[in-house]
Structure 1
Amino acid sequence: MAVTDEIREALGVPELRGLWEAAREALSSSQPTFRLELPDDATRTAVGELYGRPMWGEGTRISVSKLDDALRNRFGVGLSQVVEVLHGSVAEAEPAAEEADELLPVLDEHGLAGTSWAAPWLRWVRQYGRVGEAELVGIVHAAARVLAAMALSEPPRSWTSRASLAGRIGFPHSLDDGTTLSRVVLKAAALAQGAESPGNERDRRSLWERCGVAPDGVSATVLTWALPVSGDDAWSAGVRSRTELGLPAHLTHLDLGAAPERLVPEGSVIAVCEHPRVLEAAIREALHHPVICLSGLPSTAARALLERLSADGAVLRVHADFDWPGIAAALTAQRHGTVPWRMSGDDYRSALDRASRDRTDLPTLVGAPVPTPWDPQLADLMTTAARAIEEEHALQPLLDDLRRGL
């Protein structure tokens, strides 16, 4: 059954006819809410089940944005599409000239008025943003200050926490989940990124991170060992003391924010691995070669650290599991300044041979293939052999490299 047929069958019932007529009028006039008459119990029941709350009395006020959310959550389509299927296309009113003049200069102050997403975002804020007229200019102004500090058009090279970003406009909790400001900022970010509006916590976190904003300054960490920090400050001394004690250092965004501008001397060679087992083995064997562990796909803290070290002129060599998530992790690390280390097709073939010789059972390679641009034959070999090789199965050659020095 086509989507339009499903919409007509589920939503084109007589009890909802008044709802769609009123909604169409609200959409065409860009009204955020509308009054709906509820003449009988059947109408109250049908509207209440769709809207998500019981209906009482002879009438109620319906929020356009809440109705749109209810439709998307239950049917996967928005209000405009439903109304178009049931009653024809909606001619949405353009913002009044004086409104445009009032709001566009606010965006222009921050260099945002000429972006492709500015006009549709302002229309969305008026229509679906649940922002009162009296608050509109203030919310757009605050949102513009936040958006100007985000990475909307290019991949981020550094990350700031939401609390720090909110603090720039004087309200540390204004970007917490559920606030008006966070809602309208995320909508602008989604439009700028060409992404769907986030519908859950995971999607919201992902969108924030894509724009250079970490949920907080402490939850994302990166595991390090023997970083050759060169400063004579207390922060550098603290990292060195962890190494002297034979202990790794977990660094967060808060740690990196407190670090000196230069972390390591130019030319420092640092190994980057995916699996914590590699870093642990280096510590146990008293190898003082610097190691950074990604622990899977690099966190924002790991990516920020790699960016800092690359800017210092460090040489970063990355190794990961020979499986598709490992290849994805290596690719992500490459975007932040690393080069592959024992990640060629020949290295994969050698690891297969060692496993065969040692009678090691290797897991089946699963998932969609990921390109290996540094050595295209690697992806072909992995696809053909269909075996995954974790770093701990290639541990000895990696430790030998660390012992000799990369």
Structure 2
Amino acid sequence: MDPRLHKLLGGNELAALRRRLRRHFERNAPGASPGLLRVGSLSAAEREALALLTGRPPRDAKSMQIDVSLLDAMLRDAGIARSLRDALEQIDGPVVHLAAARAAVEASWSAVVTGCTHPALAGHLQTPAALGLLKRLARQDASVAKRLLEAADAVLRRLPAGGVARAQLAAETLGNAHALDNGQATATLVLATWRHIERGRSDAAETSDSLDGTAEETSGRALDERIRDVWARAGVLVNELARPALLLNVPVQTNETPVCTPGEPAYLSLRRLLRAPPRWAVADLVVFVCENPNLVAIAADRLGVRCAPLVSTDGMPAAAQRTLLSQLAQAGARLRYHGDFDWPGVQIANHVMSTWGAHPWRFGALDYEAAAADAPHTRHSLAGSCIVASWDAALAPAMQRLGLAIAEEAVAAPLLGDLRQE
């Protein structure tokens, strides 16, 4: 750089002026007529610099109009720079034509999207939300996005899997056992695409699934469980031995080994349910579903082999419970659900009934009022925000009126009456 150029227009004091001059060239395509340039809101130092640059006497004015062609000729004649644009580029680097740059970026992203060959992934990218997610994951870098799509494509072509561990899937497809861990960009993209695939199926396990914790308390643990659920629906095991599903007397087909001893509760892990799913013999059979594992223990103690098929969600169902309920529903079971008479219990019931088509089991307003009258020694005050029961509009008002929370175990007697088989 010519020292005279630095003296005329360089330095931090004139950086703001140079930015304003650069904007003139950023808006005009390379090769376009330079034209006239008006610069306003000038400081004293900026006025002096422009006066020296153009050879004009200093004026106490807030703005100045510059004939760029004339200034270019002056700079060339002085041997300082080829043009004003060249002078600005020598000081602060290349001037980028904004419209051309935007067009180039759009073209690069278009090439990324059109280059995606996985049908579901390509279809998902046609939605603004999916493309926005990809850009965020790639930090607005199209080359990074291309690599992400290639990785997601490789994983999605393995789905649904038959109970493969997530770490194994990641190692085999991506060469890194942790590449699909929670929070990894490829994992986020794969999960989003899998939910998109589910929403396109009429028999999807859950069409409204999200990873924002709205169906459970918003916490890291709840989010982890929901992520685990989505992987499970894709046949991928994540922490497959955690929170196994509890069941009692649920029959399998006669040529298959029973999953549990008759009359005794049994646990089935997510690993077992996905890797070797039982062939359930429950077509058109009522399978009772309760919220609390204690009710399963009570039923086993009181009824044993005479108890009807019973499953516990163990609170809000996690991956193993959700997988079991999906398998039973797909096998033709008629699910009937009961839970705690409190707001979390109503929330869980709404979820179970909407997701698996379950019907209420002694879980309406009249049942609540009867329980409030008959079980005073096991009740406590109702706390939390009201939640409307999707299956009985009268339940929430009755609970608000009486203000009592009633645990499922407190109404075990009538439930056992329904479960008793002779």
Q: What is the TM-score when the length of structure 1 is the normalising length?
A: 0.63
Work out which of the residue numbers 283, 287, 291 in structure 2 matches 1:266. Answer: 283
- What residue is the counterpart of 2:261 in the other structure? 243
Does the residue aligned with 1:282 lie in a helix, a strand or coil?
A: helix
Quote the Cα distance in structure 2 between the aligned partners of 1:401 and 1:97. Answer: 64
Change (3 A) 1:167 1:254: farther
Quote the Cα distance in structure 2 between the aligned partners of 1:272 and 1:140. Answer: 41
- Map 1:100-179 onto structure 2 (within 5 A): 100-113=109-122, 114-127=126-139, 133=143, 136-146=145-155, 162-163=166-167, 166=170, 169=173, 171=175, 172-177=177-182, 179=184
CA contact (8 A) 1:310 1:336 kept: yes
Q: How far did 1:147 drift? A: 6.0
- Indicate the RMSD between aligned Cα atoms, in angstroms: 4.0
Work out which of the residue numbers 309, 314, 317 in structure 2 matches 1:290. Answer: 309
Q: Aligned residue pairs: how many?
A: 302
- Map 1:6-405 onto structure 2 (within 5 A): 93=102, 96-113=105-122, 114-127=126-139, 133=143, 136-146=145-155, 162-163=166-167, 166=170, 169=173, 171=175, 172-177=177-182, 179-182=184-187, 201-202=220-221, 204-205=223-224, 208-209=227-228, 211-213=230-232, 215-233=238-256, 236-237=257-258, 239=259, 242-244=260-262, 246-260=263-277, 262-288=279-305, 289-334=308-353, 335-356=355-376, 360-404=377-421
CA contact (8 A) 1:189 1:207 kept: no
Q: How far did 1:187 drift? A: 8.1
Give the structure with higher Rg (CA): 2
Change (3 A) 1:120 1:207: farther
Quote the Cα distance in structure 1 between the aligned partners of 2:378 and 2:219. Answer: 39
Quote the Cα distance in structure 1 between the aligned partners of 2:238 and 2:150. Answer: 22
Q: Which residues of structure 1 form unaligned runs of 5+? A: 1-17, 22-27, 29-89, 152-157
Does the residue aligned with 1:229 lie in a helix, a strand or coil?
A: coil
Aligned residue type for 1:342: R
Does the residue aligned with 1:397 lie in a helix, a strand or coil?
A: helix
Q: How far did 1:317 drift? A: 1.2
Quote the Cα distance in structure 1 between the aligned partners of 2:350 and 2:380. Answer: 22
Q: How far did 1:394 drift? A: 0.3
Aligned residue type for 2:244: T
Quote the Cα distance in structure 2 between the aligned partners of 1:150 and 1:93. Answer: 37
1:245-299: CA deviation from partner (whole Å, max 9, x where unpaired): x532111221111334631241222111111221101111233321101111111
Does the residue aligned with 1:367 lie in a helix, a strand or coil?
A: coil
Change (3 A) 1:316 1:167: farther
Change (3 A) 1:164 1:262: farther
Quote the Cα distance in structure 2 between the aligned partners of 1:122 and 1:170. Answer: 18
Quote the Cα distance in structure 2 between the aligned partners of 1:232 and 1:194. Answer: 39
Aligned residue type for 2:298: A
Change (3 A) 1:349 1:314: same
Does the residue aligned with 2:120 lie in a helix, a strand or coil?
A: coil
1:144-163: CA deviation from partner (whole Å, max 9, x where unpaired): 45468889xxxxxx998634
